[in-house]
């Protein structure tokens, strides 16, 4: 296997190079190999043709199933409308890590459980730090989970992260859930974000890809506990949110 530099950034859109073999295989979709990628065993893409364009694609990067352009502009705008009352009922706040340092993103949740962090540690709890219950996860969001994961269970947490200008999220594992056999599904809305994927243990080489509005990432299987994070956003790169920035939703089966 060719060795990779310590960190590789995959730019999108890629030039499609030549047919390759996609090990996961999805019937009816053409398997293609992506140009410019050196570690052919680890990274394959499949183009889903839509009205003659190739803006939708499924990529597999270090076991993360990345659906480029899964949500069209109307679907993205629809989700933002659904989030408005949630953000009113359970406002975004800036969480504090157990170290006492503030996170740069602002956060809230929907669902029976919400993920929180403070001096007492990382955990799920059934109330917002201000005391109110979390609002319900909208059906449209649950449908995305159902369609893409086919899981028998619905998520009980939709963590909502807001990335303003200059914000980031360090490499971390999602490991506060009770059962890692359920995937985590992430939906990107708004500004582009540089998403870094590492390994299931700390350290080692990493690879990054720009996530755009409408992209969905499924983190499951052997990659469920892989380190991942957001290095930076391209503030103002999308017009989805009137004041700019990025919203990321992660659907989780917490308890
Ligand atoms: O913003 C993202 O795309 C990733 C969010 C994330 O890693 C998390 O909420 O645990």
Interval 179-202: pLDDT, tens? 999 999 999 999 999 999 999 999
* Residue 85 scores a pLDDT above 90: yes
Burial (CB count within 10 angstroms: exposed 0-12, middle 13-18, buried 19+), residue 203:
exposed
Average pLDDT, the chain: 84
* Ligand 1 centroid – CA 195 distance (Å): 9
Tokens of 203: 């350290």
Q: Cα(125)–Cα(116) distance, rounded to whole angstroms?
A: 7
Average pLDDT, integer, range 220-234: 97
Q: Cα(252)–Cα(255) distance, rounded to whole angstroms?
A: 9
Q: Cα(30)–Cα(16) distance, rounded to whole angstroms?
A: 12
Average pLDDT, integer, range 196-219: 94
DSSP 102: B
Strand 7-10 and strand 206-211: the pairing is: parallel
pLDDT of residue 36: 39
DSSP 62: T
Instruction: Please list every protein residue whose CB sits less than 6 Å from any atom of ligand 1.
Output: 159, 161, 169, 174, 186, 188, 193, 195, 228, 230, 248, 250
Which residues are 218's β-sheet partners? 65, 185
**pTM assigned to the model:** 0.85
All domains in the chain, ordered by first residue:
7-252 (2.60.120.590)
Protein residue with least CA distance to atom 7, ligand 1 = 229
pLDDT of residue 51: 36
10 among annotated binding-site residues? no
pLDDT tier at 10 (50, 70, 90 boundaries)?
low
């Amino acid at each position: 296997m060719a060795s990779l530099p310590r960190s590789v950034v995959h730019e999108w859109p890629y030039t499609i190079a030549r047919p390759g073999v996609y090990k996961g295989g999805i019937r009816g979709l053409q398997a293609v190999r992506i140009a410019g990628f050196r570690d052919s065993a680890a990274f394959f893409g499949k183009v889903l043709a839509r009205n003659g364009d190739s803006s939708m694609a499924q990529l597999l990067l270090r076991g993360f199933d990345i659906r480029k352009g899964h949500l069209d502009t109307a679907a993205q705008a629809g989700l933002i409308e659904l989030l408005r009352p949630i953000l009113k009922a359970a406002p975004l706040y800036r969480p504090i890590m157990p170290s006492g340092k503030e996170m740069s993103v602002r956060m809230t949740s929907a669902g029976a459980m919400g993920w929180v962090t403070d001096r007492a540690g990382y955990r799920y709890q059934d109330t917002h730090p201000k005391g109110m219950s979390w609002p319900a996860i909208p059906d449209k969001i649950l449908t995305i989970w159902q369609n893409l994961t086919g899981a028998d269970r619905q998520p009980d947490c939709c963590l909502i992260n807001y990335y303003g200008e200059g914000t980031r999220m360090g490499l971390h594992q999602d490991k506060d859930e009770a059962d890692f056999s359920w995937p985590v599904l992430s939906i990107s809305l708004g500004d582009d974000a540089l998403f870094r994927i590492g390994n299931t243990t700390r350290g080692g080489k990493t690879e990054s890809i720009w996530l755009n509005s409408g992209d969905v990432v499924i983190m499951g299987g052997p990659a469920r506990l892989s380190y991942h994070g957001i290095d930076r956003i391209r503030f103002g790169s999308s017009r989805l949110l009137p004041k700019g920035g990025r919203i990321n939703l992660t659907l989780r089966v917490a308890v």
